[in-house]
Amino acid sequence: DVTLDDVVNILDVVNLVQAILGLEELDDNQMCNADINEDGIINILDVVGIVQAILGNRGIDATEIQIFNNENSVSIESNGYIGAVQMTLSHGEDFSIELTDDAFIADYNTKGNTTTLMIVAPESKELFTTVGNFEIVETLAANSNDYVDVVNPEAISLGSAYPNPFNPTTSFELSVGNAGHVTMNVYNVMGQVVETLVNNTMDAGNYNITWDATNFSSGMYVVKAETVNGLASQKVMLVK
């Protein structure tokens, strides 16, 4: 009960988020009530604790979150429920930001060339859009009760093909770390391109790509995904 009104609701979350971001000061009684996990500090874990009390169980907790920076927008992918995301951004004076509306609460505080933001219980992948360049200095994320691992994907990566060996289709998890042109080709053992799976501009994010090898003969093939920033490849076995 951060607001000391004997009711736990969204106003308590708003007050706590604003206090963490430096937009509001809490008195001693409010600080005591805000420290949900009783660790002596107020932070993102206290926020998700209050949200859990208000909204209840929202599903399986995430253990990992991926952050994708698409130049002027930032989005996330996770393997479960995310209770809150907190970021610190560094930027120039010509910077402005618009947070997603699709969240329990979203707020930020800008001081000079630094912006700190928090998005509570995001319901969409996109967290915010900006005008002006920025750098993500720090990211904290929590599920319903604890911190989760934060991953900033490499320029490009390929998850293990499944199934492999396969007949006649197999799928790949393609992770694009930076928006740009992506090619994904299939090569035979002679190094010749036999199929192009992707050849276009893609936003940063995760994609599921399927290769249908119905018209190809059994054997070993190499799948390569490439951008100007990197290359990922793996071998697959077609067995008919």
- Phi-psi group of 13: left, alpha or beta (phi > 0 → left; psi -120 to 50 → alpha; rest → beta): alpha
Q: What is the pLDDT of residue 1?
A: 72
pTM, two decimals, is 0.69
CA atoms within 13 A on the CB side of 115: 21
Per-residue pLDDT of the chain (240 residues; tens, 9 = 90+): 788 887 778 898 989 999 999 998 888 888 888 888 888 888 999 999 999 888 888 889 999 998 887 767 888 989 999 999 999 999 999 999 999 999 999 999 999 999 999 999 999 989 999 998 888 888 999 999 899 998 877 678 888 899 999 999 999 999 888 788 999 999 998 889 999 999 999 988 889 999 999 999 999 999 999 987 778 888 999 999
Q: Which has the closest alpha carbon to 173: 126, 225, 228?
A: 225
The helix, strand and coil proportions of the chain, stated in percent and rounded to the nearest 5, come to 15, 50, 35
| Angle separating helix axes 10-21 and 44-55, nearest 10 degrees | 170
Q: What is the pLDDT of residue 57?
A: 81
- Quote the DSSP letter at residue 161: P
- Phi-psi group of 194: left, alpha or beta (phi > 0 → left; psi -120 to 50 → alpha; rest → beta): alpha
